[in-house]
Amino acid sequence: MAKIISIHSFRGGTGKSNTTANLAVLLAAAGHRVGVVDTDIQSPGIHVIFARPASEVRYALNDYLWGRCGIEDAAYDVTPAAIGSADPDADRPRLFLIPSSIDTGDIARVLREGYDVARLNDGFQKLIRVLNLDYLLIDTHPGVNEETLLSIAISDLLLLILRPDNQDFQGTSVTVELARRLEVREILIVLNKVPSSASVEQLRGQVEIAYRASVIGALPLCEQIAELASSAIFINRHPDHPVTAQLRAIAARIMS
């Protein structure tokens, strides 16, 4: 059975997509078949981190949602670019990206007309089956909307990314409460962009008490991540960086 993981933040700018991309690479590098779906349809972007040019995207998630293609037609094997040494003929590891369209007309249509959210769930299940996935990572739209609630509801694990910021804290409490009402099996938290002056242990304690959920990682505010500017996978560029070590620990916790 594949494990479905929704990676979510209540507000934008938390580093959610970068965290998703790096965790996906770590899971694949550990020998798994991994799918990453960009459901942030109104402001897609994770394809940039995987260096997938828009010109090479024939079909996107939008095309599936509007009946133009099968969901598997919008899945692109990014294994060579993501983990480099993968045997193209091997069954594992494999990493697939299902991007959302960056075409302004497609984004405008989503904003104007929406789409059949139930079809999104059907697509997730078909991806798992057709691609024989071990993990399906869903990069959600920030905040709370219909597709986000659906993604959370069908997830085995909700991974929440938040900064040590009062707006993030308040918004995340709403997400946690909704997830519990939706009976999500497991809720885990990653603190991101933690200033060097902050006490990680104090923050961890406050968050775990407030949300009754485990904090499985605390990523520091990192100049190298800012310099990379979402142009590549951070752990590949900086394999010995302390942030990479933290991401490896988070991936190990997910796989456990």
Rounded to an integer, what distance in angstroms lies between the CA atom of residue 80 and that of residue 25?
A: 11
Half-sphere exposure of 90 (CA within 13 A, CB side): 13
Q: Which of 111, 89, 90 is nearest to 100 (CA)?
A: 111
How many independent structural domains does the chain possess?
Answer: 1
Strand partners, 194: 220
| Whole-structure pTM value | 0.96
E strands along 85-242, which residues? 94-98, 135-139, 157-162, 186-194, 214-220
Q: Which of 149, 196, 207, 217 is nearest to 8 (CA)?
A: 149
Whether the Cβ atoms of residue 31 and residue 87 lie closer than 8 Å to each other: no
Q: Which of 83, 50, 98 is nearest to 231 (CA)?
A: 50
The pLDDT value given to residue 85:
64
Name the 3-class secondary structure at 108.
helix
- What single letter denotes the amino acid at residue 97? L
Rounded to an integer, what distance in angstroms lies between the CA atom of residue 14 and that of residue 8?
A: 9
Count Cβ atoms below 10 Å from residue 134 Cβ, excluding itself.
Answer: 21
Domain with 72 in it: what CATH number? 3.40.50.300
Quote the domain boundaries for residue 203.
3-255
Residue 55 structure tokens = 């010109």
- pLDDT per 10-residue tile (average), the chain, 256 residues: 95 95 98 96 93 91 95 96 79 96 92 88 97 97 89 96 96 95 96 97 97 97 96 96 98 96
Residue 96 structure tokens = 């697939």
Q: Which of 193, 237, 253, 229 is nearest to 9 (CA)?
A: 193
The pLDDT value given to residue 86:
65
